[in-house]
Amino acid sequence: MTPHLPPPCLICEGLERYLGEEESRVHVLRGVSLTLEPGLVHAVVGPSGCGKSTLLYLLGLLDHPDAGSITIDEVPVASLSDEDLSATRNERLGFIFQFHFLLQDFTAAENVMIPMRRLGRARMEEMRARAEFLLDAVGLGAKVDRPSRHLSGGEQQRVAIARALANDPRVILADEPTGNLDTSNSERIFSLLTTLVRENEKALLLVTHNPEIAERCDWVHEMKDGVIFESRPGLRAPGSAPS
Amino acid sequence: MIPPTLYIATRFIVSRKRSLILSMLGVVCGVGFFICTQAQTQGFEKYFIQSVLGTSGAVVISDRFQPRYTQFSGTSSADMVASSGQNARKYYEGITDPYRLMRVARSFSNVLGAAPIIRGSVSIASSFQSEVLRLEGIDMRYHLGATALREQIISGSIDGFGAQPSAIILGWMLADKLQVRVGDNVTVTAPTGTRTFKVVALSRSGINIIDETRGYINLGVAQSLLGKPSSASVITLRLRDPGRAPELAAHLERLFSHRARSWQERERGNLALFSTLKISAGITVSLIILLAGFGIFNVLTLTVLEKLREIAILRSMGYRRWDISAIFLWQGLIIATFGSLFGCGLGALLTFLVSLIPINLRGVIFATHFVVDWNVYHYLYGSAIAFVAVLVATFFPAQRAATVPPVDILRGSGQ
């Protein structure tokens, strides 16, 4: 009897994307396909300009592919309205940017609560409690009410990570999430994310230049010139053979 | 829980205090000035209308006219008027049976009072000098119910006026010219003879042309003095709703075959002047509000440009295009709401201060201070104009914010 496999969190097939107009038009993605299964961490690595961030924006439903399809939680997104795409982003996707992109007029907790407010499913006290919990998890339990502009770059990045987890999304998309963090915080955040993904049947797609981080992921996808030319298990992923 | 878009809008707007204050100041001044100017122009207009209604009545029925038809045979050609077009009418001066017409007129629900008046120009003299007097013979039993004469008395008394054949009420400016006071005697010279009257009261209608020429005596005495027994020059009507005077006047004119003119028709020139002033003030102040609108448009457009990154972040977190628009529309709404509220306060304060300014108006109307009208509609209209201006000014930046492609911003953003 075949064991029951949970459906993939995200599938993309044959994604094509051009950027620019006329003579400056560049074929950035050339038929990229990926499947993010629940409980697994994927890394995308490759040189600058190879299309990693463009892929991430497409999977994050912030951009539209010129060809190909994206399915999130078994729902093809191509036919969704802006309203439904926004709802999917809010509820199912957590985005961590290379630069933290916090709202500067808000405190750390308020930043984390912004996606929760949009979802509107929890009471204010519940949202506040979850924000405090997430900020504590990223090591900012003592700074929940500090205005984000008064936090250091690394602290702001950690608030952004807590914010991406606010609505407990199925898919986490991260563009160099630990790029601005020191080694210990980088380790702490990576551990937090991978634990969260593995224990809660989520999927994490990580764009990184850090080979140490990439090899600790379950899958490593190597990209060049808009194509994933190799997908392999991470060398130091849990369960992989020691190198 | 407040909507997330309102929450974010509030934080955005509070974080830009200087822009907020500047934007709001424009709205506050616009609304305040609108209220104050409307209070003044409307104040003078209403004062004028009240004076007209209180003195001459809402509808004045006067000369009888011949029904509009062409007589083909009969009487002498001297009585005939060429009947070409609508205006050919022959008028017979005065009203021969005023009390019968008054009875019929009072049967209309809009008519509160009706009074006969006989008019004539005579000469009045005191020991100091003589002047022209526009004499009005009145029946005090009816006159007080049809005019505001009692309220217009500024000295003396009109009690028992009907029983005093030699009593006269003078306009206060005429009395001033004649240098007479209550209790003094004056001599009135008419075509039928000369008669002495005792000044029993002085009146102030507020309209100078009336106050410097008019005097009231009893109807019967005036009829005898002017040689017009048992007739009246006009019947003046007081109405429950003076705004409907033109319709009633037209109806009565057809019914009575007497000329009937509403106050709107009689004072068309002055009302047009007030109306022009009101429009002129309205345009000036609307321009201020428009200017405030431009200011808000600029501020919000700049805010959109400054907040592009925040907009992209919000979109990435699942905020819809409409949510982004709403964030900026809320900001406009907040500015309009508080701007209007403070503007109404400023308007009330300015109106009060303006009403204290002493003036010496001796033209169409008499006034010692700025006359202002406290009218809740000025506040509502001022606020409504501000809301429309602000929301129009907000709409375009809000639309722009909603259409910003988030990925373009995120791709181009860095620390």
Residue type, B259: R
Task: Chain B: give the shortest CA distance to residue A4, in Å.
Answer: 32
pLDDT in tens, B150-181: 888 999 988 888 888 899 999 999 999 999 99
Q: Is B285 within a domain?
A: yes
Q: Are B8 and A119 within 8 A, CB to CB?
A: no
How sure is the predictor about B350, in pLDDT bands with cuts at 50, 70 and 90? very high
Distance from CA of B403 to the nearest CA of A (A): 11
- What range does the domain containing B228 cover? 95-232
Domain match, B277 and B379 both: yes
* Cβ neighbours of B318 in A, within 8 Å: 86-91, 93, 115, 118-119, 167
Distance from CA of B270 to the nearest CA of A (A): 58
User: Given an 8 Å threshold on Cβ–Cβ distance, is A101 in contact with B413?
Assistant: yes
A62, A103, A118 ranked by CB distance to B407: nearest: A62
Average pLDDT over residues B77-102: 65
Q: Are residues B131 and B183 in the same domain?
A: yes
Categorize the per-residue pLDDT at B82 as very low, low, confident or very high, splitting at 50, 70 and 90: very low
Between these two residues, B408 and A85, which has the higher pLDDT value? A85
Residue A243 banded pLDDT, cuts 50, 70, 90: very low
The candidate with the shortest Cα–Cα distance to B24, out of B340, B399, B362, is B340
In 3-state terms, what secondary structure has residue A30? strand
β-sheet bridge partners, residue B13: none
Full DSSP string of A153-192: HHHHHHHHHHHHTTT--SEEEEESTTTTS-HHHHHHHHHH
Give how many domains chain B has, as a whole number. Answer: 2
Tell me which chain A residues have a C-beta less than 8 angstroms from the C-beta of B15.
105
- Under 8 Å between Cβ of A196 and A145: no
| % of residues, chain B, pLDDT over 90 | 20
Residues B194, B278, single domain; the answer is no
Q: Where are the beta strands (DSSP E) in chain A?
A: 10-19, 26-36, 40-45, 67-72, 75-76, 93-96, 171-175, 203-207, 219-224, 227-233
- Chain B environment of A105 (Cβ under 8 Å): 11-12, 14-15
**Could you tell me if residue B390 is inside a domain?**
yes
Instruction: Tell me the C-alpha distance between B43 and B328, whole Å.
Output: 39
Domain termination site, one of B232, B258, B282: B232
Distance CA(B379)–CA(B51), nearest Å, equals 25
- Does the pLDDT at position B37 exceed 80? yes
Q: Which carries the bigger pLDDT value, residue B128 or residue A1?
A: B128
Contact A86 B315 (CB under 8 A): yes
How confident is the prediction for chain A on average, in pLDDT? 87
Domain boundary among B186, B216, B232: B232
Q: What whole-number distance in Å separates Cα of residue B317 and Cα of residue A169?
A: 11
| B117 beta partners | B138, B234
B248 neighbors B262 (Cβ within 8 angstroms): yes
Domain end residue (candidates: B209, B232, B255): B232
Among B394, B400, B396, which residue's Cα sits nearest to residue B333?
Answer: B394
Interchain CB distance below 8 Å, A89 and B310 = no
Residues above pLDDT 70, as percent of chain B: 91
Rounded (10°) angle between helices B308-316 and A82-92:
80
Which residues in B lie closer than 8 A to residue A87 (C-beta atoms)?
A: 318
**CB neighbourhood size of B6 (10 A):** 16
Min CA distance, A115 vs chain B (Å)?
Answer: 6
B208 with B337, same domain: the answer is no
Residue B68: predicted pLDDT: 58
Q: Answer yes or no: do B185 and B305 share one domain.
A: no
Which of A69-83, B101-115, B191-205, B266-280 is predicted with the least confidence, judged by mean pLDDT?
B266-280
Distance CA B208, CA B176 (A): 12
Structure tokens at A117: 């407010």
For residue B322, the chain A residues in CB contact (below 8 A) are: 83
Encoded tokens for B321: 């295009």
To the nearest whole angstrom, how far is the Cα of B321 from the nearest Cα of chain A?
A: 8
Q: Are residues B117 and B12 in the same domain?
A: no
Chain A, chain B: beta-carbon pairs less than 8 Å apart: 83
pLDDT for B364 equals 61
Please tell me the least confidently modeled range out of A31-35, A116-120, B135-139, B390-394: B390-394
| Domain-embedded: residue B171 | yes
Q: Is residue B112 part of a domain?
A: yes
Domain membership of residue B219 (yes or no) is: yes
Closest residue of chain A to B307, computed from CA coordinates: A103
pLDDT of residue B42: 81
Tokens 């201006």 sit at which residue? B389
User: Nearest to residue A113, comparing CAs of A214, A122, A105?
Assistant: A122
Is residue B84 very low, low, confident or very high in pLDDT (cuts 50, 70, 90)?
A: very low
Q: Are A35 and A84 in contact (CB under 8 A)?
A: no
Q: Mark whether B288 and B383 lie in a shared domain.
A: yes
> For residue A207, is pLDDT > 80?
yes
- Which residue of B lies nearest to A52 if distances are taken between CA atoms? B411
Q: Tell me what pLDDT residue A71 has.
A: 92
Domain identity same for B10 and B137 = no
Pick from A53, A97, A117: CB nearest B4: A117
Across A179-188, B102-111, B252-261, least confident range: A179-188
Same domain, B166 and B282: no
Q: Would residue B262 count as lying in a domain?
A: no
Chain B closest CA to A90's CA: distance in Å? Answer: 4
My answer on whether B117 and B182 are in the same domain is: yes
Evaluate if residue B410 carries a pLDDT over 60. yes
* CA distances (Å), origin A173, targets A39, A205, B409: 14, 5, 18
**Does B83 reside within a domain?**
no
Specify burial of residue B313 (Cβ count, 10 A radius: 0-12, 13-18, 19+): buried
ipTM over 0.90: no
Closest CA to B215 of B259, B270, B171: B171
Enclosing H/E stretch for B408: helix B406-412
Instruction: Find, in chain B, the residue whose alpha carbon is nearest to that of A53.
Output: B411
Same domain, B114 and B197: yes
Longest dimension (CA), chain A: 57
State the Cα–Cα distance between residues B264 and B242, nearest whole angstrom.
9
Q: Using DSSP, state whether B19 is helix, strand or coil.
A: helix
Domain membership flag for residue B75: no
* Confidence at residue A3, expressed as pLDDT on a 0 to 100 scale: 58
Q: Are A140 and A158 in contact (CB under 8 A)?
A: yes
Tell me the average pLDDT of chain B. 83
B73, pLDDT greater than 70: no
Average pLDDT over residues B344-361: 88
Contacts 24+ apart (CB under 8 A), A237-241: A237/A41, A238/A198
Q: Higher pLDDT residue, B15 or A71?
A: A71
Within this chain, do residues B274 and B210 fall inside the same structural domain, yes or no? no
